[in-house]
A = this chain, B = another copy of it.
Amino acid sequence: MTDILSVARLAGVSRATAARAFSDPEKVRASTREKIYAASEQLGFRPNYVARQLRTQSTRIIGVMLPTLSNPVFSEQLQAMENVARAAGYALMVATTDYDPERETAVLENLLRQRVDGVALTVADAEHSPCLQLLAQEALPAVLVHNPSASAHFITVSVDNQKAMYKATRHLQKLGHRRIGMVAGPFQQSDRAQLRYQGYCQAMQKAKLDALPLIEMAHHTRVDSERLQPWLQGDAALTALVCSNDLLALSAIGTLQRLGYKVPKHISVIGFDGIALGEMVSPALCTIVQPQRELGIAAMESLMGLIAGIDITSRRLDFSLRKGESVARPPLIDKLPGNLS
């Protein structure tokens, strides 16, 4: 591939002038600029960003680290981030971790070696993440997405997971549900799942109900029929399920229907995230809606602010409860508990 020197020669100018024509066009007379562009065209010259990056000590690349792209929450967020990054002239380097702390550090290390200008990342568990300790030692602009801002060192963009799940659970209680269970994926792995469980517990306590142990699935996004069934039988059968994410909730609804339960007639199901698909299926999923695209946009804008040296603070975005069609009053005449506000 031709380099800028050949272009300069063909245009009959010095290397410096040719370089300027690309990096700082104002600084060169229009007529010579045209000659340079023509020569460049003719030779099929294309600026070498690697060389530029080395010289300017800035890559205009942003590193993005995510648990997985198989969950629409993250791929939507990535899509939003990509849009604003590209519009601002940044490229994205993307890597996934599958909630594995070791992979998190490996990925981050790689991003650092690539000399990305900043990173936007979602870690499995911000409290015990070796990767964040690594990051804390570096001066690299960074924004955590989704993770609670427990570690006050980092800029975070998130919603209040605990409060959101509290609200979801209260919603069920107000409809008369008393035996409400929560299902989640591998629990210890995700700090968000933990916060959501706390929100659930808090709501149960508020209503003077027993917070049940978490119904833990092997997979983050799929319900195992066998693990669910015990909770559906007998006197203490659940009348409602809160799920730690929408994919789990949709999977739960499908599983329940296949087991012969009608949703929401026999059992109510509520999700968390607000993925687009939840609205399209029937029954439409009742869920906590996180502003996924806004999260991505806000994260990218904060990050670009940091890179520009602007003072940035953590942001907490609003969530909402979408009613959908997967929730109704409990089936049996379940006398309302005294203590509902």
Q: Which of B75, B257, B277 contacts A69 (CB 8 A)?
A: B75
For residue A268, give the distance in angstroms from its CB to the closest CB of chain B.
16
For residue A145, give the distance in angstroms from its CB to the closest CB of chain B.
15
Q: Which of B96, B114, B255 contacts A82 (CB 8 A)?
A: B96
Among residues of B, the one whose C-beta sits closest to the C-beta of A139 is B1
Q: For window 232-280 of chain A, which residues contact chain B by CB distance below 8 Å?
A: 247, 250-251, 253-255, 257-258, 276-277, 279-280
Q: Does the CB pair B46–A113 fall under 8 Å? A: yes
In the complex, A316 has a CB within 8 A of chain B: no
In the complex, A222 has a CB within 8 A of chain B: yes
**Measured between alpha carbons, how far is A114 from B93 in the docked complex, in Å?**
12
**Measured between alpha carbons, how far is A247 from B281 in the docked complex, in Å?**
10
For residue A36, give the distance in angstroms from its CB to the closest CB of chain B.
17
Q: How would residues 78 to 118 of chain A score, 1 for a CB under 8 Å from any chain B CB and 0 otherwise? A: 11001100100001111110000000000101101111000
Q: Does the CB pair B276–A254 fall under 8 Å? A: no
Among residues of B, the one whose C-beta sits closest to the C-beta of A113 is B49
In the complex, A51 has a CB within 8 A of chain B: yes
Q: Does the CB pair B48–A69 fall under 8 Å? A: no
Q: Does the CB pair B94–A110 fall under 8 Å? A: no
Q: Does the CB pair B50–A114 fall under 8 Å? A: yes
Among residues of B, the one whose C-beta sits closest to the C-beta of A221 is B276
In the complex, A332 has a CB within 8 A of chain B: no
Among residues of B, the one whose C-beta sits closest to the C-beta of A112 is B46
Q: Does the CB pair A76–B70 fall under 8 Å? A: yes
For this complex, into which size category does the number of interface residues on chain A fall? 35 or more
**Measured between alpha carbons, how far is A48 from B59 in the docked complex, in Å?**
12
Q: Does the CB pair A86–B95 fall under 8 Å? A: yes
Question: Assuming A50-B114, A54-B54, A70-B75, is B277 touching A258 (CB within 8 A)?
Answer: no
CB-CB < 8 A to A251: which residues of B?
280
CB-CB < 8 A to A276: which residues of B?
70, 221
Q: For window 128-156 of chain A, which residues contact chain B by CB distance below 8 Å?
A: 137
In the complex, A282 has a CB within 8 A of chain B: yes
CB-CB < 8 A to A2: which residues of B?
none
For residue A103, give the distance in angstroms from its CB to the closest CB of chain B.
9
CB-CB < 8 A to A255: which residues of B?
280
In the complex, A186 has a CB within 8 A of chain B: no
**Measured between alpha carbons, how far is A250 from B253 in the docked complex, in Å?**
15
Q: Which of B59, B68, B78, B254 contacts A281 (CB 8 A)?
A: B254
Q: Does the CB pair B82–A91 fall under 8 Å? A: no
**Measured between alpha carbons, how far is A306 from B93 in the docked complex, in Å?**
22
For residue A239, give the distance in angstroms from its CB to the closest CB of chain B.
19
Question: Assuming A76-B70, A250-B281, is B96 touching A94 (CB within 8 A)?
Answer: no
Which 9 A/B pairs are nearest by Cβ-Cβ distance? A75-B75, A257-B282, A69-B79, A251-B280, A254-B282, A254-B280, A69-B75, A94-B94, A49-B113
Given contacts A61-B93, A83-B96, 19 further A-B contacts (CB under 8 A): A47-B113, A50-B115, A51-B54, A68-B79, A69-B75, A69-B79, A70-B72, A70-B76, A70-B79, A82-B96, A86-B107, A91-B95, A91-B110, A93-B94, A94-B94, A250-B277, A257-B282, A258-B282, A281-B281
